[in-house]
Structure 1
Amino acid sequence: MKEFSPYHITHVHLHEFLQMPTLNQKNQGNYLVFWWHSIALGELYVEPHEKVTEEQYYLKLGQAIKPALDFYASGQKIPDFQKLLQLRDFPGFRKAMDSLFSESTSRVIPARVPVSVVICTRNRPAALKLCLESLRQSVCQPAEIIIIENARENDHTEKLVETFAGVKYFQEPVPGLSHARNTGVKKASNSIIAFTDDDVIVHPEWVFRVWEAFTEHKVAAMAGLVLAAELQTETQLIFERCWSFNRGYVNILFDENYFNKNLPLGPPVWEIGAGANMAFRKEIFEEIGLFDVRLGAGASGCSEDSEVWYRILLHKHSILYYPKAAVFHAHRKDLRSLRKQIFAYMRGFTMAVLVQQDHYPPANYRNRLFRQYPKHYLRLVTRGFPRYRFRNRTLWEEITGILSGYAFYLKNRKNDPETQFRREEPAPKLQPEQELTT
């Protein structure tokens, strides 16, 4: 079996250093993330033993950041950044970049903003300590930080929180991430509630960027950029390349048009982002209800976040993917943990999409689940035979997770938590072609 080579992550801050970084390409890969000050612009994988010349590097760099530069230019005429890089015209490149990002980089960042940060945790004080330390090092502090300990087994987490002045600690005795998130919503005292996970390190400007997303955009919720904290094992690389939380480096608006356009197979709300980096206007929960307690870790396994996004869209509100708000996530290191995680993902996903169809039957998730997915997995099983390497190493967990999720749905579909959401909101009107399709 071929020995795995770890990938070294390098964050390349182009405003400080434009020369090609030194890459150790022997027995390791390289994963480069490009930044202009605090704004992530793109990424580049350099495979183990792949030889990259300076000319090739600047070509790849230009290609990697071009979508983000085009987005931030907003249709304005901008210099040919790729040409400037290939000509090694670094002064010209810096001048053009300073002009393009002048507004973003010159903003005065307040010391504190009215945001409640909620972190749900269970028996992971070591990881939580790193997360809290990163929050305390933020250039902009949230008005409050709330820790919700779910199904407590000992006092280790509470004692840790006591060492962080001002951090609020609450217990949620009923097992399940959705129960914990709902307690966080109820305890939060600010109009913006940001969620992150205990295995996350937040970017120093994360809190400010979350607040900025809601002050500059009329949206009900947002999801942010989630970058890998490390890629030292094959398992972590599998997750990042096949199941990544990273949704790219440009804003994406998910609205009623997105919802209606995707009704024939059910809107893929799981593409919006990840629960490790999301935020909401608190008032939206008063309209659509709280997290469905049948979903999430400790229940079906996953997708309590995307199901809430679905209800937000169903109620004709918008959600913004906002990559300026960035965090770093610690992926599972070993294959056994990944397989367990993917099983839970697919189990929760299946339960969620069937619940979403219950909310609004024309969202044709059953077509996706019972027609498209069997064909998809048949292709993967056939192509992966007989070795089932890399992406295919979790196929069994994916398939059994879907079956388990369907069984969970049949058992729990009548346990609809009526207090969690409201149904009276009129559903979006289908376009004629969608009525025919569904």
Structure 2
Amino acid sequence: MNGDAFRVRHIDLETTDIDGDAGDTASLSIFWWKDLPLGMRASLPDELPYSRAHLRQFAAEFSAAQLAARSTSLGAPLRATYWGWPKSALSLAAALDARDLIDSLDQLATASSASAQDISVVICTRDRGPALARCLSSIAKQRSAPGEVVVVDNSRDGNARSVCMQFPEVRYIHETRPGLSVARTAGVRASRHGIIAFTDDDVEVHAGWTAEIARVFAERDVEALTGLVLPARLDTLAQRRFQFDMGGFGTTFVPLVFDQRFFEETRPNGAHVWKIGAGANMAFRRSAFDRVGLFDERLGAGAAGCSEDSELWYRLLATGGACLYEPRAVVFHHHRSDWPGLRRQMRAYMKGHVAALVVQYDNFGDRGNIIRIWIKLPAYFLRTFLRTLFDGPPGRIGILAAEVEGWLAGLQFLLRFGWRKRRALPRQNLVEERAR
């Protein structure tokens, strides 16, 4: 996957039975059934085009996964396992024996027609005008228009204002205090509706994004939702390394419930809340913020580095809530295209991750967070180094070095006692909420 050319292509298996690809370029093929994302495959040129038999095999395989994950008569919804993966409840053979397989998939793939008028879309931006314009253009094409779109400009000089003026439906907020959590909190406070959906300025959203978010909150009693984040392009080596070696923002194509069982199972080693999703595609009921507080302003880009989203999910789960991952809600992310940018990103991710672990320990006293800092993360670094040394892709050692740098930078938060005293909610409130 290291060649100069690499395409992202989309294949609708409902209408395609012959792959017209010339087979001259490596590709990440993302498969759909109408508007329902099914799965993806990375292929070298000599593996393309896919034969009709391969396409049928993919359709059967993906159908089995979707039926198991979405049909209540077959055991759905699936709960997340220790590593955040779905626990299979239906075999491929059983799915192939099921009656009216295609009709069932057709029904599951029915696009949502739910109204999104109770959704406030919040986009936080800083000095990325062209990317913001692209994001807002995609939101303007939603099948179900949101109740409002709020752009929080975190730049010093308010340079996103001119972009927002091109979109009359957008409400513009200028938040001069730096930090993604500060900006997201400003967006929550400025928003007017009962559901608050977040995406980033380097994202383009699928036309059904808001409608699918609205459907979930109408049908399911959950406080938080995350969705599928697909790569928009894989033109550069840095983008491919992030997607294939670092896992991108997740590759699961079936819905998952992250509940108390998931939290308790992973809690002894630091609850795996980062598996729940990505801040580039998440939504909350407003009542969730009323219950556990807003984003912790010590975390996130412009502060500790990142993990302001996963720390909030931690609070929700630790106090009895649940989060749903629903891949029907799709966005397309423009990964960082340059190698220095990727290294900075991975350093910031690890630094922010350690900071969030400290915050989670301070809020709830869960020692698994400290175990992850001192035992689990160093073990991950060692395993990755040994694996990469003997059979690693080009550049992985450089990314690992950036992660180690981030870990070392994050250790400072253990000693910053003044920093540790500031919380999104007082610990007493969180402990009382957990005991209910």
* Structure 2 length-normalised TM: 0.88
User: How far 1:3 moved relative to its partner?
Assistant: 6.0
1:88 corresponds to: none
SS at match of 2:421: coil
1:21 corresponds to: 19
The 1-side partners of 2:191 and 2:72 are apart by: 36
Check if 1:39 corresponds to 2:39.
Answer: no
Out of 137, 140, 148, the residue aligned to residue 144 of structure 1 is 148
Check if 1:50 corresponds to 2:54.
Answer: no
Q: Which amino acid counterpart does residue 263 of structure 1 have in structure 2?
A: R
1:367 corresponds to: 371
SS at match of 1:139: coil
Q: Give the alignment of 1:131-170 within 5 angstroms.
A: 131-153=135-157, 155-170=158-173
- Provide Cα deviations, 1:304-333, integer angstroms capped at 9, x if missing partner: 000000001111111111111111000011
Out of 191, 194, 213, the residue aligned to residue 191 of structure 1 is 194
2:356 corresponds to: 352
The 2-side partners of 1:319 and 1:294 are apart by: 23
1:204 corresponds to: 207
Larger CA deviation: 402-411 vs 204-213: 402-411
The 1-side partners of 2:239 and 2:432 are apart by: 43
Structure with higher Rg: it is 1
The 1-side partners of 2:5 and 2:359 are apart by: 40
2:87 corresponds to: none
Aligned-residue identity in percent: 35
The 2-side partners of 1:178 and 1:303 are apart by: 10
User: How far 1:293 moved relative to its partner?
Assistant: 0.8
1:432 corresponds to: none
The 1-side partners of 2:203 and 2:186 are apart by: 20
Using a 3 Å threshold, how does the CA distance of structure 1 residues 184 and 218 change in structure 2: closer, same or farther? same
The 1-side partners of 2:397 and 2:93 are apart by: 40
Larger CA deviation: 98-107 vs 221-230: 98-107
Check if 1:68 corresponds to 2:71.
Answer: no
Q: Which amino acid counterpart does residue 3 of structure 2 have in structure 1?
A: F
1:30 corresponds to: 27
Using a 3 Å threshold, how does the CA distance of structure 1 residues 65 and 392 change in structure 2: closer, same or farther? farther
Assess if the C-alpha contact under 8 Å between 1:206 and 1:327 holds in 2: yes
Q: Which amino acid counterpart does residue 261 of structure 1 have in structure 2?
A: E
SS at match of 2:7: strand
Assess if the C-alpha contact under 8 Å between 1:23 and 1:30 holds in 2: no
Larger CA deviation: 356-365 vs 191-200: 356-365
Q: Give the alignment of 1:164-179 within 5 angstroms.
A: 164-179=167-182
SS at match of 1:222: strand
The 2-side partners of 1:218 and 1:82 are apart by: 28
Q: Which amino acid counterpart does residue 40 of structure 1 have in structure 2?
A: P
Using a 3 Å threshold, how does the CA distance of structure 1 residues 5 and 412 change in structure 2: closer, same or farther? farther
Out of 308, 333, 336, the residue aligned to residue 337 of structure 2 is 333
Assess if the C-alpha contact under 8 Å between 2:363 and 2:427 holds in 1: no
The 1-side partners of 2:70 and 2:232 are apart by: 26
Q: Which amino acid counterpart does residue 397 of structure 2 have in structure 1?
A: N
Q: Which amino acid counterpart does residue 152 of structure 2 have in structure 1?
A: I
Q: Which amino acid counterpart does residue 181 of structure 2 have in structure 1?
A: S
Out of 404, 412, 432, the residue aligned to residue 409 of structure 2 is 404
How many residues are aligned here? 416
2:81 corresponds to: none
SS at match of 1:262: helix
SS at match of 2:371: helix
The 2-side partners of 1:215 and 1:333 are apart by: 38
User: How far 1:82 moved relative to its partner?
Assistant: 8.3
Q: Which amino acid counterpart does residue 366 of structure 2 have in structure 1?
A: P
The 2-side partners of 1:348 and 1:322 are apart by: 25
User: How far 1:339 moved relative to its partner?
Assistant: 0.3
The 2-side partners of 1:99 and 1:54 are apart by: 21
The 2-side partners of 1:67 and 1:191 are apart by: 32
The 2-side partners of 1:390 and 1:58 are apart by: 36
Assess if the C-alpha contact under 8 Å between 1:42 and 1:68 holds in 2: no
User: How far 1:206 moved relative to its partner?
Assistant: 0.4
- Provide Cα deviations, 1:190-226, integer angstroms capped at 9, x if missing partner: 0100000001101101011111111111111111111
SS at match of 1:49: helix
Q: Which amino acid counterpart does residue 177 of structure 1 have in structure 2?
A: L
The 2-side partners of 1:268 and 1:107 are apart by: 30
User: How far 1:376 moved relative to its partner?
Assistant: 2.2
The 2-side partners of 1:43 and 1:79 are apart by: 17
The 2-side partners of 1:59 and 1:421 are apart by: 53
The 2-side partners of 1:421 and 1:175 are apart by: 23
Q: Give the alignment of 1:39-438 within 5 angstroms.
A: 39-50=36-47, 52-76=50-74, 96-102=101-107, 105=110, 108-110=113-115, 112-153=116-157, 155-241=158-244, 242-385=246-389, 389-411=394-416, 414-418=419-423, 420=425, 423-424=428-429, 425-426=431-432
- Provide Cα deviations, 1:221-277, integer angstroms capped at 9, x if missing partner: 111111110111121111112231124111111112211111210111000000000
User: How far 1:170 moved relative to its partner?
Assistant: 0.6
The 1-side partners of 2:256 and 2:220 are apart by: 12
Q: Which amino acid counterpart does residue 23 of structure 2 have in structure 1?
A: Q
